[in-house]
Amino acid sequence: MKMGSCVRASASAMLRGVLATALMATSALAFATDGIAQLRQFVAATPSAEGEFEQTVLAQSGRKPQQASGHFAYARPGRFNWEYERPYRQILIGDGVNLWTWDPDLNQVTVRAMGDALGATPAAILFGSGELDEGFVLTEGGKEGELAWVEARPRQADSGFESLRIGLQGGQLRRMEMRDNFGQTTLIRFTRLAPNPQLATDRFRFVPPSGADVIGDAAAPAR
């Protein structure tokens, strides 16, 4: 992640810059106030995390919102475990090479290449390489209550979504709001976010259960 920095003209100013950098790395990124700075700091200082989420999907047709919740963990680049617990169980696992989707009720597994799955999608903000500017154009979204918002628009026309809003507070990710090309809006609220925990590598591995219907071909993960 590239972060802008100002050239300091005096020794005292340089010292303040060094101290600020050290404190940002150890105190939940308390110095950033605008959304883009907070997002850049979060991505740079949080290569891994785990937590819980609540998701609401709003259809353009006005039908009843669809709600879901679960937990997640990630370790960039490309490794994540995103598990829906309610209203029904579904597990998405990225092993760095493949994206696996398992529906236990149907015992059906879908696998596709990670690069094709992430691309310049909202998931790339959390799980991608961390190079935000490669996939997105970032603009300030203003403040709403305690949250500072960032507007992220994909550089790729075939990303599958129109816009993404990211809400941060105190240098931590709190919200995501995504609008896809069909007018559907997905709202995600993040809770119990733990930055840089010790994560077992087997959380990002997936072996299709015996008897599962597997759709797609998996590439062998790098060792």
pLDDT 10s digits, 90-137: 999 999 999 999 999 999 999 998 877 776 677 888 888 768 888 889
Q: Tokens representing 23? A: 């404190």
- What percentage of the chain reaches a pLDDT higher than 90? 60
pLDDT class for 6, splitting at 50, 70, 90? Answer: very low
CB 139 within 8 A of CB 148: no
- CA–CA separation, 22 and 18 (whole Å): 6
Q: CB under 8 Å to 165, separation ≥6 — which residues?
A: 141, 149, 150, 151, 152, 175, 176, 177, 178
pLDDT class for 32, splitting at 50, 70, 90? Answer: low
User: Domains along the chain?
Assistant: 31-215 (2.50.20.10)
pTM tops 0.75, yes or no:
yes
